Amino acid sequence: MIVREAYHGPIHPKSKGTATPPEILEACGLDVGEFYALLDELKGAGLIRISDAYPFEEIQLSPEAAEAESLAERCTRGNIPFEDVFVNLVFHSNQG
């Protein structure tokens, strides 16, 4: 969801590759607590970076997760739902 909203989300203008909490929350249906818990896990795993403070956070994919942009673009061109590709991914947190 973050990948889709970062590159194809409805909020403009914004930096390329940036998603905002409102557009992600609207698209994914998580409650706010679940959303911020997920962000903490993704940040801990090194997949995203968060800049600015609430309520103006900007969420960007980390350089290590840059391949997700390419994959998302291929999904868009092939009219393949992101959920069909980004399902059941397993990542390991860098937190000890």
Does position 35 have pLDDT exceeding 60, yes or no?
yes
Binning pLDDT at 50, 70 and 90, where does residue 71 land? confident
Q: Where are the alpha helices (DSSP H) in the chain?
A: 2-8, 21-28, 32-44, 67-77, 82-85
pTM of the shown model: 0.67
19 has which bridge partners?
A: 59
- What gap in Å lies between CA 59 and CA 52, rounded to an integer? 9
Note the CATH number of domain 2-85: 1.10.10.10
- pLDDT given for residue 37 in this prediction: 92
Q: How far is CA 29 from the centre of its chain?
A: 14
- The amino acid occupying position 89 is L
What is residue 57's three-state secondary structure? coil
Q: Which of 41, 42, 18, 21 is nearest to 31 (CA)?
A: 21
48 has which bridge partners?
A: 61
Write down the residue that tokens 């940040």 correspond to: 43
Pairing of strands 58-61, 48-51: antiparallel
Percent of the chain with pLDDT over 90: 12
Does position 8 have pLDDT exceeding 80, yes or no?
no
